[in-house]
Amino acid sequence: ETGVTQTPRHLVMGMTNKKSLKCEQHLGHNAMYWYKQSAKKPLELMFVYNFKEQTENNSVPSRFSPECPNSSHLFLHLHTLQPEDSALYLCASSPSGRGNTGELFFGEGSRLTVL
């Protein structure tokens, strides 16, 4: 496999459920990101990881819990979500360090619906 792969592609959950989104990249990148894309809203950066360390938390509610066990994998653990959390969650990766132009490589997203 190549590129950035996200699973599941679609998820429906109740407000009391606990679920996780998974992202895997096969590009040798050292930075990974979670973005939230809601209807009629700009793309929102949620979390940034560089070399497995979290370097950005954009005031995300604690019901979203990221995990980055290594540079190739990123998870977003979800619990007690609200209906307004329904959105497309996009994972992205990029190289780190000198020579990095800032280009992001996105997965196809996980469409989350909270009932």
Partner 1 sequence: GDSVTQMEGPVTLSEEAFLTINCTYTATGYPSLFWYVQYPGEGLQLLLKATKADDKGSNKGFEATYRKETTSFHLEKGSVQVSDSAVYFCALSDQGTNAGKSTFGDGTTLTVKP
Residues that bind partner 1 (CB under 8 A): 4, 6, 31, 33, 42-43, 45, 48, 50, 55-56, 90, 92, 94, 96-109
Return d(Cα 20, Cα 33) in angstroms, integer: 15
Please state the closest distance from residue 18 (CB atom) to partner 1, in A.
25
Choice between 37 and 80, CB closer to partner 1: 37
Please state the closest distance from residue 84 (CB atom) to partner 1, in A.
19
- The encoded tokens of residue 78 equal 């979800």
Please state the closest distance from residue 3 (CB atom) to partner 1, in A.
10
For residues 45 and 35, the answer to whether their CB atoms sit within 8 Å is: yes
Please give the helix or strand (H or E) that residue 65 lies within, else none: strand 64-70
Choice between 58 and 82, CB closer to partner 1: 58
Query: For the purposes of burial, counting CB atoms within 10 Å of the CB of 79, is it exposed (0-12), middle (13-18) or buried (19 or more)?
Result: middle
Choice between 11 and 92, CB closer to partner 1: 92
